[in-house]
Amino acid sequence: MALIVQKFGGTSVGSIERIGQVADKVQRFREAGHEVVVVVSAMSGETNRLIELARQVMPQPDPRELDAILSTGEQVTIGLLSMALLQRGVPAVSFTGSQVRILTDSAHTKARILEIDEARLRAELAAGRVVVVAGFQGVDAQGNITTLGRGGSDTTGVALAAALKADECQIYTDVDGVYTTDPRVVPRARRLERITFEEMLEMASLGSKVLQIRSVEFAGKYNVPLRVLHSFKEGPGTLITLDDQESAMEQPIISGIAFNRDEAKLTIRGVPDMPGVAFRLLGPISAANIEVDMIVQNVSHDRTTDFTFTVHRNEYDKALAVLTQTAADLGAGEVLGDTQIAKVSIVGVGMRSHAGVASRMFEALARENINIQMISTSEIKVSVVIEEKYLELAVRVLHSAFELDAPIRMDE
């Protein structure tokens, strides 16, 4: 007998029929003798619908009130799934985040979990019930409802598994595992048998939304056995593992390719090149609470330099205003902005032991005449910024260049 936490995403509970199928699945695990805690998302599209409703009333929604609205999506699903289980004769009980007491900080719409009181859950499990918990939500010390950021139900699942020391956390979704890249963009993407926490964290941070970043952080920190699986198709899925040296020998150089369209680029021209210039440019940006991702400073010719950096697209307007003011203060040249960019990243722990990975990437992009605007590297990833319209092409050619393509099936 094992204790299993099963998380079902939005499309997996997207209709009454699917909720029924999820209940059938949970029932099978129970009948096999396992204790089951289920975490569910809102029905697909519901969170977006609620955000839209809020915006109609208040274009920049008040964060506390927005959380009060958003948490209702998951509250509906826990009730429906519990009823579907009861209807099948399976004892079940639903809990909101606040009823469990998933204690978070007070950062509305992006709260972090601080503590989970697992006593009530244990008592319900001991009484033989399936416990159905609302994902994506918690409560702060003052009793305000909070939410954990988009995709946050993954984090609820992993955090509960950590708190309960579950034998496994299973993330059920609409793909049958973690792929070499988003299978919606590259049909020849391959399912990975396993991927390390470290690689998965990079993939998630660099744009692969199959798991929320914080869920991977949690799983790594508390060593939660984590598996991504298809909700309605049988299969082994993908196991997220610790870095084991033995299999590292046969590891491919690149495990996956991540991408995102969430960033925008800002350039300031003709900045006096002197000590402290980066601080004078980025100080006001960080004072405005804007996070900077990639940074490039050009070599100067005439004692002035160009300086380019990227921010989240949602913060582009704010960053542009701040930088324009800074340019005026410093007597610098023009400020340019570009929101039509995309970031493509190759990720793999195999990079540590192989040279020439970056140049292979650049060569593949050059062959397609794709211009690289910015580059950044770390031990296990190389990221480039390119024009957004080439994104899908870039991902496809890199997928081939690093020999990640699945073999073409004979029945295709």
Chain positions contacting ligand ASP, by CB under 6 A: 9-10, 41-42, 47, 73, 135-136, 150-154
Tokens at 31, concatenated: 């009948």
Nearest-approach distance from CB 200 to ligand ASP, in angstroms: 16
- Stretch touching ligand ADP by CB under 6 A, among 59-67, 91-99, 169-177, 310-318: 169-177
Number of C-alpha atoms within 13 angstroms, CB side, residue 14? 11
* Nearest-angstrom CA–CA distance, 264 and 358: 23
Position 76, amino acid: V
Q: Which of 50, 178, 349, 351 binds ligand ADP (CB under 6 A)?
A: 178
The partner in contact with residue 184, picked from Mg ion, ligand ASP, ligand ADP, none with C-beta cut-offs of 5 to 8 angstroms by kind, is ligand ADP
* Nearest-angstrom CA–CA distance, 340 and 169: 38
- The Cβ of residue 158 has, within 10 Å, a number of other Cβ atoms equal to 31
The reply on whether position 175 binds ligand ADP by CB under 6 A is: yes
Distance, CA of 150 to chain centre: 8
Q: What are phi and psi of 159, to 5 degrees?
A: -65, -40
Q: Which of 138, 151, 220, 270 binds Mg ion (CB under 5 A)?
A: 151
Q: Which of 36, 111, 138, 179 binds ligand ADP (CB under 6 A)?
A: 179
The partner in contact with residue 34, picked from ligand ASP, ligand ADP, Mg ion, none with C-beta cut-offs of 5 to 8 angstroms by kind, is none
Nearest-approach distance from CB 70 to ligand ASP, in angstroms: 7
* Nearest-angstrom CA–CA distance, 262 and 342: 7
Return the number of the residue (181 or 267) whose C-beta is nearest ligand ADP: 181
- Stretch touching ligand ADP by CB under 6 A, among 173-181, 338-346, 351-359, 404-412: 173-181
The reply on whether position 77 binds ligand ADP by CB under 6 A is: no
Q: Which of 3, 11, 51, 252 binds ligand ADP (CB under 6 A)?
A: 11
* Nearest-angstrom CA–CA distance, 348 and 187: 21
Nearest to 346 by CA among 388, 389, 292, 401: 401
Return the number of the residue (24 or 338) whose C-beta is nearest ligand ADP: 24
Question: DSSP class of residue 368?
Answer: T
The partner in contact with residue 135, picked from ligand ADP, ligand ASP, Mg ion, none with C-beta cut-offs of 5 to 8 angstroms by kind, is ligand ASP
* Nearest-angstrom CA–CA distance, 338 and 89: 57
Q: Which of 35, 46, 124, 182 binds ligand ADP (CB under 6 A)?
A: 182
Say how many Å lie between the first and final Cα of the chain, rounded.
42
Nearest to 373 by CA among 362, 381, 357: 362
Nearest-approach distance from CB 388 to Mg ion, in angstroms: 23
Return the number of the residue (9 or 157) whose C-beta is nearest Mg ion: 9
For binding to Mg ion (CB under 5 A), which residues are involved? 9, 151
